[in-house]
Amino acid sequence: MATISVRTRDGELHSFDGRIGASLMENIRNAGFDELLAMCGGCLSCATCHVYVEQLPTSANLPVSSIDETELLEGSDHRQENSRLSCQLPFDETLSGIVIGIAPED
């Protein structure tokens, strides 16, 4: 089982089994979190899938942000060091235990 924990905007933490191969955005959406709008469906156009990577399992790595992802994140008033667009992060076993926070709405 590869688990994902998601902190919603009210601060509550929820954990669930993630689907390997789907993006973190798809996983969060499929688990029913309606705070994450992900309006462009994952094609790196909208930044409404903005999350904070609060905890990364040791030895796990996330792909580096593309320039486009970085630029889109720069437009957010809530950007932090650990900001990512969740549609750009494929979920796999190595990420089991990852803790993600949903960023505030822009």
Partner 1 sequence: MKPGNLTQSFDCVIVGGGHGGSQTAAALRQCGFTGSIALIGAEPEIPYDRPSLSKDYLAGKKTFDRMHLRPQDFWGARDVELLLGRHVSRVDPTARTVMTDRGEHFSYGQLVWAAGGDPRKLTCPGSDLTGVFYIRSKADCDALLDVLPDAQRIVIIGGGYVGLEAAAVFREIGKDVTLVEALDRVLARVAGEPISRFYENEHRARGVDIRLNSGVTSLEETNGRVSSVALASGEAIAADIVVVGIGIIPSDGPLKAAGAEGPNGVDVDAFCRTSLPDIYCVGDCARLQYGPGIRIESVQNATDQATTAAKAICGEFKPYDAMPWFWSNQYDLKMQTVGLNYGFDSVVTRGDPASRSFSVIYLKNGAVLALDCINSPRDYVQGRKLVDSAARIDPAALADTSRQLKEIDLVTS
Of 4-12, 35-43, 51-59, 93-101, the segment contacting ligand FES by CB under 6 A is: 35-43
Q: What is the dihedral of CA 99, 18, 13, 89, to 10 degrees?
A: 40
**25: contact with ligand FES by CB under 6 A:** yes
Of 6-14, 44-52, 74-82, 93-101, the segment contacting ligand FES by CB under 6 A is: 44-52
User: What are the tokens at 12?
Assistant: 């509550």
4 Cβ neighbours under 8 A, 6+ residues apart: 15, 16, 17, 18, 24, 27, 28, 31, 91, 95, 98, 100
Binding positions for partner 1, rule: CB under 8 A: 22, 26, 29-32, 34-35, 37, 39-41, 43-46, 67-68, 71-72, 74-75
**47: contact with ligand FES by CB under 6 A:** yes
Interface with ligand FES (CB under 6 A)? 25, 38-40, 42, 44-49, 85, 87
